[in-house]
Structure 1
């Protein structure tokens, strides 16, 4: 199980921009298009020893896998993390068949996005 964390640009992560970042990330996941979110990641930011482009490559691979099975979009729902951040809300992304394809936890504190990471223990995996 691989945990991939994303830290966003600090000047983009506060206030109104916090909501914007969250909305754009969710839009990228629902439209299966990593380019929607790319410009919000700092060039020299690392997440779990992965740089911006390695993270985007991972995200794109998730999206490509969804497309290979015939999805052109996903539907967002909510769950809770059962491992790393027990009880925290996750964003779960489902196909039209109701099967979950991937999930992310968006961690915010005091109105600021702190990080975003793939959640392999979101409650939707166990339904």
Structure 2
């Protein structure tokens, strides 16, 4: 019973530290919590850390600060799996455009794209594992207007 509880606590800790590492673009946050024999994304500990750090370094080049995680789903590479999409949290200016036929000036924002996304492969109380995802909801051009509106609220901080 205690072993199960320890596994649950460790899986929860890994989930939290992984999200924190991604939001802060720093693989060193999760590194002390990984055991030598751990396998993430089919990679051993050090290859996994190198893989995510490479993506973090690419994101840092944009120099736009911390990221915010949004849970969505994959529509291509991991069909119907939940995903964790990471977006830059920003206060971008509001854009306006004239609607055809009505000549009405409306506020709009383009569909934001995630910096990167991870599909959640295992998310049980005892295990947590992810895989890199390039078919996540945010990479798609469409999506329902309500979903895009909720996403913008979270990214642009208007709901805070």
Report the equivalent of 1:7: none
Q: What secondary structure is seen at the aligned counterpart in 2 of 1:112?
A: coil
| CA spacing shift, 1:27–1:48, aligned 2, 3 Å | closer
| CA spacing shift, 1:52–1:96, aligned 2, 3 Å | same
Report the equivalent of 1:124: 138
Aligned positions of 1:29-40 closer than 5 A: 29-40=22-33
Report the equivalent of 1:76: 69
Q: Number of aligned pairs?
A: 117
Report the equivalent of 2:56: 63
RMSD: 2.5
The reply to whether residue 90 of structure 1 matches residue 60 of structure 2 is no
Measured after TM superposition, the shift of residue 15 of structure 1 is 1.9
Report the equivalent of 1:44: 37
Measured after TM superposition, the shift of residue 73 of structure 1 is 1.1
Contact 2:41 2:131 in 1 (8 A): no
TM-score, length basis structure 1? 0.77
Contact 2:11 2:126 in 1 (8 A): yes
| CA spacing shift, 1:126–1:63, aligned 2, 3 Å | same
The reply to whether residue 115 of structure 1 matches residue 116 of structure 2 is no
The reply to whether residue 17 of structure 1 matches residue 7 of structure 2 is no
TM-score, length basis structure 2? 0.63
Deviations 1:21-73 (A, max 9, x none): 11111000001110111122221344566322121111111111111011321
Measured after TM superposition, the shift of residue 13 of structure 1 is 7.5
**2-structure distance, mates of 1:116, 1:68:** 24
The structure, 1 or 2, with the larger RCO (C-alpha pairs under 8 Å, 6+ apart) is 1
